[in-house]
Amino acid sequence: MKMENIFVEKFGGASVNSAEAVRNVFKILSMEQKKRVIVVSAMGKTTNKLEDIVNKWFNSNIFYDEQYENLIEYHNNIIENLFSTKEQEGTKAKISLLFQELKSKLIRLPRNDYNFIYDSIVSFGERISTTIVSDFLNANKLTNKLVYAIDLIKTDNNYRDANVDWANTQKAVEETIVPILEHYDTVITQGFIGGTKENLATTLGREGSDYSAAILAHCLRSNSMTIWKDVPGLLNADPKRVENTTKLVSIPFKEAIELSFYGASIIHPKTIKPLENLSIPLYIKSFVKPEDEGSVICANPELNPIVPNYIFKDNQLLLSISPKDFSFIDEKNSASIFEIFARNKVKVNLMQNSAISFSVSVDENRNILPQLLEDLQKDYKVRYNTNLQLITIRHYNQQAIDSVLQNREKIIEQKSRTTAQFLVNMQ
């Protein structure tokens, strides 16, 4: 078998959020026989609920029993509706062991490193979902091998936003997946998860399952990568926010990188580059209508069609920073401020500076904010506003701007030739 005859497909949380959804995954995979690696996210809103458990433990030293029991019940209900009474016993036993491991691990972990605790616990969502999906496919004669992503995607110890060790990942993928595909058509693994050299779980950033699939596609030099979504393809806006959205038929790699950089939720920011480097096309297709064409991100030179693209980032925090010694925002102060952001793992979404003040928009995270403010306030005066929204419009025109702003007060406005950004109060 040649490595280039492998396909990588990713199924997100919405595509496996119920027994019916998992059956639909089986239906999609049964449409075509080929060598493939399937990357699966946590089911439904499991990641959010595991975050709640982590936050309650970290902030209050209280184990969130209600949320924990709800998660067990949710996954058991899916199992009961997927399998016969006899078949479900084995899968339930595996899931029970994973939940027991989750709880015992959390209460043993020292409460001094939020990011480490987060990765250790939240990664269980994908481990649980892939166990259920793999067992169901095997029970329905779609034989597959389940592989733990911690053994495939090797990373550093930068918890919650781990950096990939590409050389060791390439080696692990070639030594693990390629031999399996000599005997199986399908390998299933988790999205979002990596592993350190000490075999500790890391995560690749929120919504990192797309990136996981891209890493594997790159290492396997796959024919293509497909993301299965609940939309007909890549749209120019979230249909929940903008009426009369347009499907983008084809998107150049560089345009997709720009969209993901500004926060387009359908693509993880790091996903595109590993694919672009080897010209691996990325298809975005609907799991509701899998036979439809969808969208493709590829080496085409221009966006088709060229229309405004709208990106909304809620729950933004505006920080206004000025030196206590009344010095200018010069290169030295800028470097100091960005070093503090980097140390606290805070990504800047928008920035604007004057001679004596530096303003940035960042995602609001109440677990990280106290330490960030403490670090900044050693040398700087800091003011901040909460409950803001950042609106980005690629390929903007005045009509596009007017349609989303609707006379809302602009706190910060920035425009380049192709991109307009507005920081406004949440509606």
Cβ neighbours of residue 290 under 8 Å, at least 6 residues apart? 27, 28, 31, 228
- Residue 142 three-state SS: coil
Element (H, E) at 380: strand 380-394
Backbone angle region of 159, left / alpha / beta, with phi > 0 → left and psi within -120 to 50 → alpha? beta
Partners of 322 in beta bridges: 381
Neighbouring CB atoms inside 10 A of 182's CB total: 8
* Each residue's pLDDT tens digit, 209-240: 999 999 999 999 999 999 999 889 999 998 88
What pTM did the predictor assign?
0.84
CA distance linking residue 199 with residue 18, whole number of Å: 31
* Each residue's pLDDT tens digit, 399-413: 999 999 988 999 999
Whether 164 and 215 have beta carbons less than 8 Å apart is answered as yes
Cβ neighbours of residue 146 under 8 Å, at least 6 residues apart? 130, 131, 134, 187, 188, 189
* Each residue's pLDDT tens digit, 256-266: 988 988 888 77
Question: What is the structure's pLDDT at 239?
Answer: 87
- Report the pLDDT averaged over residues 255-284: 89
> For the chain, what percent of residues have pLDDT higher than 90?
84
Between strands 247-248 and 144-146, the pairing is unpaired
* Each residue's pLDDT tens digit, 304-349: 999 999 999 999 999 999 998 877 888 888 999 999 999 998 989 9
CA distance linking residue 316 with residue 205, whole number of Å: 18
Whether 421 and 391 have beta carbons less than 8 Å apart is answered as yes
**DSSP structure string for 31-76:** TS--EEEEEE--STTHHHHHHHHHHHHHHHS---HHHHHHHHHHHH
Alpha-carbon distances, residue 3 vs 29, 54, 177 (angstroms): 20, 40, 10
Closest CA to 353 of 378, 380, 371, 374: 380
Question: What is the structure's pLDDT at 3?
Answer: 60
* Each residue's pLDDT tens digit, 50-93: 999 999 999 999 999 999 999 999 999 999 999 999 899 999 99
Query: What are the b/e assignments for 394-411, b being 16+ CB within 10 Å?
Result: bbbeeebbeebbeeeeeb
Tokens of 136: 């169901």
Cβ neighbours of residue 144 under 8 Å, at least 6 residues apart? 38, 134, 137, 138, 184, 185, 186, 187, 188
* Each residue's pLDDT tens digit, 174-207: 999 999 999 999 999 999 999 999 999 999 987 7
* Each residue's pLDDT tens digit, 84-120: 998 999 999 999 999 999 999 999 998 889 999 999 9
Question: What is the structure's pLDDT at 4?
Answer: 59
CA distance linking residue 361 with residue 380, whole number of Å: 17
E strand segments, 234-328: 234-235, 247-248, 250-252, 282-286, 295-298, 309-323
CA distance linking residue 79 with residue 229, whole number of Å: 22
Q: Looking up tokens 């439904």, which residue turns up?
A: 44
Whether 21 and 14 have beta carbons less than 8 Å apart is answered as yes
Element (H, E) at 82: helix 65-82
